[in-house]
Amino acid sequence: MKVVQGIDVSDMTRFNPDQRAPLWWGILGLIAIESAVVLTFCVSYLYLAAYAEAWPPSGESAPPMLWPSINLGLLMLSSLTMFLAGQAINRGNQRGLAIGVTASVLLASAVLVLRSLELMAYEFSWKDHAYGSIVWTISGFHYVHVTSIVFGSAVVAILAWRGYFTQQRQIGVVVDTNYWYFVCFAWIPFYLLLYWGPRVYGQ
Amino acid sequence: MTLEKPANPRDVTDSPEETAWLERTWHSPGGLLGWFTHVNQRMIGKRFIITAFIFFLLAGILGILIRLQLAGPEQQLLGPELYNQFFTMHGTVMMFFFAIPVMEGFAIYFVPLMIGTRDMAFPRLNAFGYYVYLIGGIVLFGSLLLSMAPNAGWFNYVPLSSKLYSPGYGVDIWTTMITFIEVSALTAAVELIVTTLRMRAPGMSLNRMPLFVWAALVMSFMIVFAMPAVIVSSTLLILDRLVETQFFIVEGGGEPLLWQHLFWYFGHPEVYIILVPALGMISTIIITFTRRPIYGYTALVLSVVAIGFVSFGLWVHHMFTTGLPQLGMSFFTAASATIAIPSGVQIFCWIASLWGAKIRFATPMLWVLGFFAIFVIGGLTGVMVASIPFDTQVHDTFFLVAHFHYVLIGGAVFPLIGATYYWWPKITGRMMSEAAGKWSFWLAFIGFNVTFFPMHQLGLEGMPRRIYTYVEEMGWGDLNLLATIGSLVLATGFGVTLINAIWSVFRGQRAEPNPWGAPTLEWAADSPPASYNFRHIPVVHSRWPLWDWERDRERAVVTGLRNDRREVVLTSILDAKPVGVQVLPAPTIWPFVSAVAASLGFIGIIFHPIFFAIAFFLVAFTLVAWFWPRRPWRND
C-alpha cells in the first residue's frame, strides 16, 4: 500500500497548544470529581438536616460566623493573588509569578492557622450527634484540601523562584491555579451551608 | 472538517534506522525492577485485563462453592459465617475487582489504538491506577484467606455493617479498599476522557469515532460522576466505625437510609458502567462479522449517551421497599421503564445491521448472539421489577438473583468473552482455536441458562437470597440441584476459554495484522503492536479507515514527529484538527512508590487514624518527586 504524507507537524508547538493541554483537561477532570464529592457532602448535610428533629440539635448552637467569614475573604484574596501570578507569567514576568504564588501560599497558611484555632474552640465533638459528625467531616475535608494546595503551591513557588517557569513552559502554573480556585470556591457552598444554613433554616 | 489531501502527495518512506530509534524511545525496560516502571498504555491495559480475569476466576470459584452449598437442603459444606463471607466477596469482587477493571483494561488497551495514537494522555497516572487496583485487590482477597473477610453483602447496608453488628476488621477492609480502588477507576476514567477528546488521529471527528470508543467515553463520564458518591458513603461509614461519628446511627440522629441513597446513587450507574462498554464491543463485533457499516450509527451513539444520563435517575428502584413518598416511587418507576427505550434502540439497530447481511458465525459473533438471547430475558424481568407491586413481592428473593445475573453475565460477560476472542490476535499475535471457542460458547450458554433460569421460579416460590441453607419441606431442593449442575457446566464453558487462551499463546496460529477484515485503526498496527503502536500516526477520512485504504490502495499519515522522545499529536475536540504535539513522559518508578504510599494510608487507618496524616505527606512527597522537572529543562 502506498503511504503518503497527510499532515506535517514538525513546526507545531510542543507546549500547551490552544491553552488546553491534556493536563488542563486532567485537572478539570479532578475538579469535576471533587465537585461531585462536594455536592455529595452538601446533599448528605441537607438529608441529615431534613430528617432531624432539630437542626442543630437542641442544646447546641451553630458555630460563630466571624472567623469563617474572614477565612472566606482570605481565600478569595489568595485566589486574586494567584490570578495575578498567572497574569504575570503570561507576560513573561517570572518575579511577578513567584511573588504572587508565595503571597497565595502565605494567605492560605493564615487560613489554616485560623481554622485550627476555630475548630479547637468548637463546643461539640463529631462523636456527639450526626450534626457534629457532618460539620466536622466537611470542615476536615476542606482543611485537608487547603493543606494540599498550600503544599503543592509551595513547590510551584520554589520552582518559580528558581526560574523554571517561562511564558511558554507554564502548564504547571495553570494547573495549580485552577485547582487553587476550586479549593477556594468550594468553601462558598460549605460556608453557606455550615454557617448560614442553620441560622436561616433553624428559625 | 474534511482534511484536504495535498495536491502533490509526498511519498513517505521508512528507514529502518528511524524505526529502530522509535522502538528504543517507546521501549519498556526489562527485568523485575523494570516491570514496576512501565507506563505504556498497552502494558498497563494488559495487566488490568489479566488481573481482572484472575479475580473473575477466584470470584467464580466462590460462586461455585456457594452453589455447592445450596445444592441440597440442610447441607453443611460452608456453614453460615463462611457462606456470608463468600457471597459478600463473590459480589464485591465481581463488581469492583472484575467488571469495572476489565472494561477499563480493554478501553486502556484499545482506545488509543482505535483512535490512532501511541499512548494515553497521562501514562504515569495509568500505571499508578493499576498498582492501586492490584494492591487493593490483594488486600481484600487476602482478608478472605485470614478468615476476616467482609460479610455484610456487596452493598454493605448499615446498620448491619456498623461497628455494633459487624465488629472485627472485615467491614473495615471492605470500606477502605472500595474507596481505594475507586481511585483507580477514576484515574482511568479521566485518562480515557482526555485521551479520547484530545489525541484522536487527525480527521477522526467525533462522528467518525469507533462505537467502542464512544462507549468507553460514556463509561468514563459515568465513572467520574457516579464514583464520588460511593467514596463519600464509604468515607462516612469508615468514620462511623473508626472515630465514632454518628452518620448512620439512629441514636445519635443519624440516618441509615442515607447509606442506601448514596450507595445506590453510585450502584445503579455502576451496572450501566459495566454494560455500556459491552454495548460498544457488540457494535464493533457486528460491524466486522457482517462486513458492512452499522445501521444507525448516530442512533446508537445517542442511545448510549441517553443510557448514561438516564441511569443516574434510577437508583431508588433498589429501595422500593424502604417506604418512600408516593410521588418519588412513581418517578423512579417511570425512569426505570424509560431505560428500556435507548436499550431497545440499540437492539433494533443491531437487528437491522444483521438483517440480510452475510454473517460470519465465528466465535466472537456467537457470544454476541448469545448476549441477545440472555440480555432480552434479563431486560424483560427488569421491566417486571420496575413495577412496585411486583418488586415488593420478589424483593430479596432468588428472582432478583436470576434477574441481575441475566443482565450482568448476559449483558457484560458474554460480549466481553466475545471481545476477548475478537481482540486476542491483536493482543498476543496468535489466534485462539475456533473449535474450542464454539464448545466454550455452547457450554457456557446452556450452563448459564440451566443455572439461572430456575432461580426465577425459586424466587417466585419465595426462596430468599443470602440464606446459607433451607429445609427440605420448602420443596426447593430439585431446582437448586439443577442450578448447581448448570453452574458446573457454565464453569466448564469458561474453563475451556481459559485453556484455549493459554494454549494459543504458545501454539496458536500466528495472526495477520487484520485477521478478521475489520475497519478500525487498531487493526492497522502489527499483531501484537510494536512498542510505538503505529509507525506513523494515520490520517482518517471516514468511519471505516481500513476499508478506505483497501479500496484506495493508499493511505495518508502524519509526519514530523520526533523519534528520540515520546511525541504524539494533539487534535481539536470536535473535528480532530491537529493543533500541536504533546511530549509524553518516559518510564519511572514513582507511580509505584506513590501507590504504595497511598495504600499504606488506606490500610493503616483501619488500625489508627494517624496513618491518614502519615500517608498524606508521604504521597505528597512522592508526587513531587514524580512531577519534579529534570534538567535540562525543555525549551523548544
Mind listing the pLDDT tens digit for each residue in B589-636? 999 999 999 999 999 999 998 999 999 999 999 999 998 888 777 766
- Segment B163-200, tens digit of pLDDT: 899 988 999 999 999 999 999 999 999 999 999 999 99
What residues of chain A, 132 to 191, have a C-beta less than 8 Å from chain B? Answer: 132-134, 136-137, 144, 147-148, 151-152, 155, 159, 164, 169, 172
Q: What is the pLDDT of residue A168?
A: 86
User: Does the residue B28 lie in any domain?
Assistant: no
| Domain count along chain B | 2
Q: What's the mean pLDDT in B118-131?
A: 95
Cα–Cα separations (whole angstroms), residue B554 to A4, B209, B445, B572, B598: 7, 21, 43, 25, 50
Question: In terms of Cα–Cα distance, which of B9, B22, B15 is closest to B525?
Answer: B22
For residue B217, what pLDDT band results from cuts at 50, 70 and 90? very high
Burial B325-351 (b: 16+ CB within 10 A, else e): eeeebeebbebbeebbebbebbbebbe
User: Does the residue B14 lie in any domain?
Assistant: no
Q: Which class does domain A24-53+65-201 fall in?
A: mainly alpha
Contact check, Cβ <8 Å, B559/A8: yes
For residue B325, what pLDDT band results from cuts at 50, 70 and 90? confident
CB atoms < 10 A from the CB of B404, how many?
17
Name the minimum distance, in Å, from the CA of A24 to any CA of chain B: 9
Asked if B575 and B617 sit in the same domain, the reply is no
A169: chain B residues, CB-CB within 8 Å? 633-635
Q: What's the mean pLDDT in B301-309?
A: 96
Q: What is the pLDDT of residue A200?
A: 85
Q: Per DSSP, what are the bridge partners of residue B568?
A: B582
Q: What is the pLDDT of residue A167?
A: 87
Question: In terms of Cα–Cα distance, which of B457, B470, B313 is closest to B381?
Answer: B457
Say which residue, A55 or B203, is predicted with more confidence. Answer: B203
B228: chain A residues, CB-CB within 8 Å? 33-34, 36-37, 39-40
Asked if B491 and B627 sit in the same domain, the reply is no
User: Does the residue B13 lie in any domain?
Assistant: no
Average pLDDT, chain B: 93
Last residue in a domain, options B587, B606, B622: B587
For residue B1, what pLDDT band results from cuts at 50, 70 and 90? very low
Q: What are A163's three cell numbers?
A: 526560574
Asked if B561 and B630 sit in the same domain, the reply is no
B197: chain A residues, CB-CB within 8 Å? 25
A14: chain B residues, CB-CB within 8 Å? 567, 580-583, 634, 636
Asked if B556 and B598 sit in the same domain, the reply is no
Q: What is the pLDDT of residue A42?
A: 96
Q: What's the mean pLDDT in B84-104?
A: 95
Percent of chain B with pLDDT over 70: 98
Asked if B594 and B569 sit in the same domain, the reply is no
User: Does the residue B381 lie in any domain?
Assistant: yes
Cβ neighbours for A130, distance < 8 A, ≥ 6 positions apart? A48, A52, B245, B246, B247, B249, B252, B253, B254, B255
Q: What's the mean pLDDT in B565-589?
A: 93
Q: Is B1 exposed, middle or buried (0-12, 13-18, 19+ CB in 10 A)?
A: exposed
For residue B2, what pLDDT band results from cuts at 50, 70 and 90? very low
Q: What's the mean pLDDT in B400-428?
A: 96
Q: What is the pLDDT of residue A203?
A: 52
d(CA B365, CA B371): 10
d(CA A37, CA B231): 8
User: Does the residue B249 lie in any domain?
Assistant: yes
User: Does the residue B428 lie in any domain?
Assistant: yes
Asked if B471 and B615 sit in the same domain, the reply is no
What residues of chain A, 28 to 67, have a C-beta less than 8 Å from chain B? Answer: 29-30, 32-34, 36-37, 39-41, 44, 47-48, 51-53, 57
Q: Per DSSP, what are the bridge partners of residue A5?
A: B557
Task: Report ipTM (2 d.p.).
Answer: 0.94
Percent of chain A with pLDDT over 90: 75
Q: What is the pLDDT of residue B322?
A: 85
Q: What are B531's three cell numbers?
A: 512498542
d(CA B494, CA B512): 26
Asked if B433 and B385 sit in the same domain, the reply is yes
Asked if B374 and B512 sit in the same domain, the reply is yes
Q: What is the pLDDT of residue B280?
A: 96
Q: What's the mean pLDDT in B17-25?
A: 91
A22: chain B residues, CB-CB within 8 Å? 121-122, 194-195, 198-199, 570, 582
CATH number of domain containing B348: 1.20.210.10
Asked if B535 and B426 sit in the same domain, the reply is yes
- Segment A85-112, tens digit of pLDDT: 999 999 999 999 999 999 999 999 999 9
User: Does the residue B456 lie in any domain?
Assistant: yes
User: Does the residue B6 lie in any domain?
Assistant: no
Q: Tell me the residue ranges of DSSP E strands in B494-562.
A: 554-559
Residue B445 structural domain:
43-587
Percent of chain B with pLDDT over 90: 83
Among all residues of chain A, which has the CA nearest to that of B571?
Answer: A17
For residue B317, what pLDDT band results from cuts at 50, 70 and 90? confident
Q: Which among A5, A130, A134 has CB closest to B557?
A: A5
A18: chain B residues, CB-CB within 8 Å? 572, 579-580
Question: In terms of Cα–Cα distance, which of A108, A3, A77, A122 is closest to B552?
Answer: A3
Asked if B334 and B373 sit in the same domain, the reply is yes
Decide if pLDDT at A32 tops 70.
yes
Instruction: Identify residue B395 by its one-letter amino acid code.
Output: H
